[in-house]
Structure 1
Amino acid sequence: MKRSRAIAGSAVLAMAGIATMATATTASAAPKAAAYNGACGSGYSVVNSVPVTGKGTVYLTYSAKTGKNCVVTVRNSPGKRVYMYTYLTATDGSSDWVYDSGQYTSYAGPVYLPGKGICVDWGGAIESVSVSVSGSNCGRMAAGVVTHH
């Protein structure tokens, strides 16, 4: 009886080890999320971001020194040229839209807009996946409303 428990226990441990290896393999196969690439320049810090599902991330940055916001859309994995887009505007309509779009290998942008005391709408796209955030970062780190297209 003791012997069969030991064998059963070993089988359970072996199965747990296989399940752990399968989970680790699956997790490592997921694409690495895009990190902010510093494209906005020195003095800009990330204040918000939104993932472009499975493709990359759009980063909203701010410089206290210049009082400007900056947005850049970064791919998870640079490669062949694909359509990319990034934009930024004042939520209240007090500014023109600033945007960058084209066929890029790693990122779109940066685009800049004075941001002291205003809320901003911003977002981006990689291939056919787009995201946007409305009414965020009104002089502080606000959540905003995120939409995925």
Structure 2
Amino acid sequence: MPIAKKKRSRQAPLTSKPLMSIGVITGACIASLTVTSPSTHAAEAARAYGGECGVGYVEIDSYHLSTGATAYLTFSSASGNNCVVTKRDTVGTALRLGAGVRRSGEPGSAHEDIGNYTSYAGPVYVYARYSCVDWGGYFNGLNKVIENDHCDRQA
């Protein structure tokens, strides 16, 4: 059964900086002001993991990029697959957005989705039962990769 995706704008993928080969944060961090308003609640809803990886995937970790997006790591105990999506805090004009995942220590297992999107990048999947994963996201000049993570996903 195919996984339904929201309509997204796609342009040529970024080839000069593969997501999984960069292990440090690049770009400038942007400070933000937190204001409680109805639009804040809309941003939180847009940013929340919404099942983009499909049925049976449970969120096990997330990382908020200060530039305005959150990367989500999910796991399916039925398939043994990990999945990553990176969602923008607010839907808007297509901007560079990426998601990536691989089994730790296995560069050939990397799966990425990097392009110009209005809402989210991914989903990207890797079989990782009995394995650690490297996973992360990219948005608007900031890349974050978390390495050797969630080694306990065996069931």
TM-score for the superposition, normalised by structure 2: 0.69
Higher normalized helix content (fraction of residues): 1
Structure-2 separation of matches of 1:54 and 1:85: 13
Partner residue, 1:72: 85
Matches within 5 A, 1:120-135: 120-135=133-148
Task: Kindly report which structure 2 residues correspond to 1:29-108, keeping only aligned pairs within 5 A, or say none.
Answer: 32-33=43-44, 34-93=47-106, 95-108=108-121
Whole-angstrom distance in 1 between the partners of 2:122 and 2:131: 21
**1-side partners of 2:107 and 2:85: how far apart?**
21
Indicate if the aligned counterparts of 2:109 and 2:126 stay in contact, CA closer than 8 A: no
C-alpha distance after superposition, 1:72-104 (max 9, x if no partner): 000000111000111101112274210001110
Answering whether residue 35 of structure 2 is matched by residue 26 of structure 1, we say: yes
Structure showing greater radius of gyration is 1
Which letter maps to 2:36? Answer: A
Determine the structure 2 residue equivalent to 1:13. none
1:113 aligns with 2:126: yes
| Percent of matched pairs sharing the same residue | 36
Maintained 8 Å contact 2:134/2:149: yes
The Cα of 1:130 is off from its aligned counterpart by: 1.7
Superposed CA RMSD in Å reads 1.9
Partner of 2:20: none
- TM-superposed CA distance for 1:126, in Å, is 1.0
Query: Does the 8 Å CA contact 2:98/2:121 hold for their aligned counterparts?
Result: yes
